[in-house]
Structure 1
Amino acid sequence: QARQRAEGRLLVLGLFFVCAFGAIIARMGMTAVSEPAEPVASVPGAAIAAQRADIVDRNGSLLATNFETHSLYAQPPQMIDPVGAAEKLVEIFPDLDRERLIKDFTGKRKFLWVKKKISPEQLQAVHDIGDPGLMFGPREMRLYPNGSLAAHVLGGAGFGKEGVNAAEVIGVAGVERQFDDYLRDPANAGKPLQLSLDLTVQAAAEQVLYGGMKLMNAKGATSILMDAHTGEVISVVSFPDFDPNDRPRPPTSGFDPSDSPLFNRAVQGVYELGSTFKIFTAAQAMDLGLVNADTVIDTRGPLRWGRFAIRDFRNYGNEMSVTKIIVKSSNIGTARLAQQ
Structure 2
Amino acid sequence: MIRTPLRPLATVLAARSEGENPDAIERENLRARHEADRDAARQRAEGRLLVLGIAFLCAFAMVGLKMSLLAASDPAEPRAAASGAQIVAARADITDRNGRILATNLTTHSLYAQPPQMIDPVRAARELIGIFPDLDHDRLVRQFTGKRKFIWIKRRISPEQQQAVFDIGDPGLLFGPREMRLYPNGRLASHVLGGAGFGREGVSSAEVIGVAGVEKALDESLRDPGRGDVPLTLSLDLTVQAAVERVLAGGMRLMNAKGAAAVLMDIHTGEVISLASLPDFDPNDRPSPLVAGDPADSPLFNRAVQGV
Taking structure 2 as the reference length, the TM-score comes to 0.72
Change over 3 Å in CA distance of 1:266–1:59 after alignment to 2: same
State the partner residue of 2:234: 195
Show the counterpart of 1:258. Answer: 296
Distance 2:115 2:95 in 1: 43
Letter in 2 for 1:264: N
State the distance in 2 between where 1:249 and 1:64 align: 20
**1:81 offset after TM fit, Å?**
0.7
Where does residue 52 of structure 1 map in the other structure?
A: 91
Which amino acid is 1:258 matched to? A
Superposed CA offset, 1:28-52 (max 9, x none): xxxxxxxxxxxxxxxx999424421
SS of match in other structure, 2:174: strand
Q: Percent identity?
A: 73
Equivalent residue for 1:83?
122
For residue 117 of structure 1, the aligned residue among 145, 156, 163 is 156
Aligned residue in 2 for 1:207: 246
The answer for the alignment partner of 2:286 in structure 1 is: 247
Q: Is the 8 A contact 1:52 1:190 kept in 2?
A: no
Question: What per-residue deviation string (whole Å, max 9, x for no partner) do you get for residues 136-170 of structure 1?
Answer: 00010000000010000000011111110111111
- What's the CA shift for 1:231? 0.9
SS state of the match for residue 170, structure 1?
strand
1:188 deviation in Å? 1.3
Greater C-alpha radius of gyration: 2
- Mapped pair 1:267 → 2:305: yes
2:172 maps to which of 104, 123, 133: 133
- SS of the residue corresponding to residue 96 of structure 1 reads coil
For the residues of structure 1 that align with 2:281 and 2:85, how far apart are their CA atoms?
Answer: 33
1:94, 1:136 → 2: CA distance? Answer: 19
SS of equivalent to 1:267? helix
Equivalent position amino acid for 2:294 in 1: D
Q: How far off is 1:110 after superposition?
A: 1.2
TM-score, normalised by the number of residues in structure 1: 0.65
Alignment partner of 2:303: what SS? coil
State the AA in 2 paired with 1:265.
R
Q: Distance in 2 between matches of 1:130 and 1:92?
A: 14
Listed as ranges, the gaps of 5+ residues in structure 2 are 1-47, 49-54, 56-82
Please provide the CA RMSD for this pair.
1.9
SS in 1 for 2:304: coil
Q: Which residue of 2 aligns with 1:94?
A: 133
Write out per-residue CA displacement over residues 182-207 of structure 1, whole angstroms, 9 at most, x where no aligned residue: 11111111210000000000000000
**Structure 1 residue ranges without an equivalent (≥5):** 1-9, 11-16, 18-43, 271-340
Q: How many residues align?
A: 229
Q: 1:154 aligns with which of 182, 193, 203?
A: 193
Distance (Å, rounded) in 2 between the aligned partners of 1:52 and 1:227: 29
| 2:247 corresponds to 1:217 | no
- CA deviation vs aligned residue, 1:184-235 (integer Å, no higher than 9, x gap): 1111112100000000000000000001101111111111111111111010
Which of the pair is proportionally richer in helix? 2
For 2:255 and 2:300, locate their aligned partners in 1 and report how far apart those are by CA, in whole Å.
22
